[in-house]
């Protein structure tokens, strides 16, 4: 069933640049591909290898399984594991989960067999993140970054100032950028050496990076630095910016508790600002079409054109008691996977009516 609300252009769109959709073409829409509802709350899904989606339970007894990306039909599992509040990770043919209480890591193959993984337990953690080289990163709530090499034989632990509530960003050289609740933003290399260190008005979160720039959300807006830690610009907001990302053409998007998605140029020039009706905590994804998929805290997904026009909206799952998971998985093309409460759903954000 499709749950849809009317597009509220007059209320929710404020455009600082162009005001028409791409070249006058028919704007794209959102189409629901499939959904699966479980008997308990699920964590955010993960895009797996070989056209899989990985789903883990957020409540005890924990379990993990893989689904076919096109249909949502079960492929492997469910296998017993620790309940987790964060999206699992799939690397090759192996699945990874970090438990929500102990922070203990679980690694298993697609037959459900347990494999050696890092120890000791980390306690409460942030999301587990795979680096480009197949290694892993994990922040512990006690104030530490764990760098887990690709052979998973050991890990390096680096103290942090504060606690991180958003996924770290790892670049191609293995430098991990972390933002914490006290406004500390650091970049740490594979050996645990700090290569980048700045402070913004806390809480800081949603750090992102390119070869030249580092962007981070702060209490007062979007802060952008060069890779040496020199400030490039601050894009002020009246509420906390939760997340940031760089677009395909080098622009920067920022979203936050005021329900706005802003797009700015690398020098800080505003491109557009779009309101989607409620706070944005979930990751915003740029699609191959140049459009943006935005999921607000009320569970409504919005499709925003490259010029800042809201073209479609859809409710991801009719669960009034649970906010959507903050992690969003992207599959092939413009297909995204969300979870809310006990439901996991797949949507195509490039539907042509």
- Is residue 96 domain-resident? yes
232 with 224: CB under 8 angstroms? yes
Q: State the CB neighbour count (10 A cutoff) for residue 291.
A: 25
Q: Virtual CA dihedral for 53, 59, 62, 63, nearest 10 degrees? A: -20
- Is residue 347 domain-resident? yes
Paired strand residues for 11: none
Residue range 261-308, pLDDT digits in tens: 999 999 999 999 999 999 999 999 999 999 999 999 999 999 999 999
Give 3-state DSSP helix, strand, coil % of the chain, rounded to 5. Answer: 0, 45, 50
- Is residue 2 domain-resident? no
Asked if pLDDT for residue 155 goes beyond 90, the answer is no
**pLDDT of the residue at 191:** 94
82 with 100: CB under 8 angstroms? yes
- Is residue 140 domain-resident? yes
**pLDDT of the residue at 104:** 87
Q: How far apart are CA 241 and CA 114, in angstroms?
A: 39
Asked if pLDDT for residue 21 goes beyond 70, the answer is no
Its domain, for residue 210, covers: 9-351
- Is residue 187 domain-resident? yes
- Is residue 4 domain-resident? no
- Is residue 301 domain-resident? yes
User: In this structure, what token pair is assigned to residue 265?
Assistant: 């140029």
224 with 268: CB under 8 angstroms? yes
Q: pLDDT band at residue 37, thresholds of 50, 70 and 90?
A: very high
**pLDDT of the residue at 9:** 32
**pLDDT of the residue at 84:** 94
Q: What is the chain's mean pLDDT, rounded?
A: 91
Q: What's the domain count of the chain?
A: 1
Asked if pLDDT for residue 79 goes beyond 90, the answer is yes
CATH code, 326: 2.130.10.10
Q: pLDDT band at residue 96, thresholds of 50, 70 and 90?
A: very high
Residue 11, helix vs strand vs coil: helix
Q: pLDDT band at residue 231, thresholds of 50, 70 and 90?
A: very high
Q: Which of 113-127, 154-168, 179-193 has the lowest mean pLDDT?
A: 113-127
Q: State the CB neighbour count (10 A cutoff) for residue 24.
A: 7
**pLDDT of the residue at 136:** 96
User: In this structure, what token pair is assigned to residue 324?
Assistant: 């959507």
Which residues are CB-neighbours of 14 under 8 A, at least 6 positions away?
272, 273, 274, 275, 308
- Is residue 298 domain-resident? yes
Asked if pLDDT for residue 223 goes beyond 80, the answer is yes
């Amino acid at each position: 069933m499709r749950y849809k609300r009317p597009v509220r252009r007059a209320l929710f769109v404020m455009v600082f640049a162009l005001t028409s959709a791409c070249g006058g073409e028919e704007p794209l829409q959102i189409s629901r591909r499939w959904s699966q509802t479980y008997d308990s709350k699920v964590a955010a899904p993960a895009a797996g290898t070989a056209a899989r989606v990985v789903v883990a339970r957020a409540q005890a007894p924990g379990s993990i399984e893989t689904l076919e990306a096109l249909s949502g039909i079960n492929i492997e599992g469910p296998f017993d594991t620790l309940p987790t509040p964060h999206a699992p990770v799939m690397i090759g043919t192996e699945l990874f989960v970090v438990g929500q209480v102990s922070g203990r890591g679980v690694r298993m193959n697609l037959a459900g067999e347990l494999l050696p993984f890092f120890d000791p337990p980390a306690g409460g953690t942030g999301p587990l993140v795979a680096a480009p080289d197949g290694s892993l990163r994990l922040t512990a709530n006690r104030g530490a970054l764990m760098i887990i090499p690709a052979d998973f034989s050991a890990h390096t632990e680096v103290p942090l100032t504060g606690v991180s509530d958003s996924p770290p960003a790892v670049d191609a050289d293995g430098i991990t950028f972390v933002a914490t609740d006290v406004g500390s933003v650091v970049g740490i290399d594979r050996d645990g050496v700090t290569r980048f260190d700045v402070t913004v008005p806390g809480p800081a979160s949603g750090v992102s990076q390119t070869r030249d720039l580092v962007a981070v959300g702060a209490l007062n807006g979007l802060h952008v630095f060069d890779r040496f830690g020199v400030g490039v610009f601050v894009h002020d907001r009246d509420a906390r910016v939760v997340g940031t990302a760089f677009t395909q053409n080098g622009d920067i998007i920022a979203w936050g508790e005021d329900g706005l998605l802003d797009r700015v140029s690398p020098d800080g020039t505003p491109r557009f600002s779009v309101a989607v009706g409620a706070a944005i905590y979930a990751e915003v994804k740029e699609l191959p079409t140049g459009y943006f998929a935005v999921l607000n805290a009320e569970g409504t997904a919005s499709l925003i054109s490259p010029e800042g026009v809201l073209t479609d909206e859809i409710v991801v799952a009719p669960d009034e008691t649970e906010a959507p998971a903050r992690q969003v998985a992207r599959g092939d093309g413009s297909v995204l996977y969300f979870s809310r409460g006990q439901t996991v759903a797949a949507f195509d954000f490039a539907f042509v009516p």
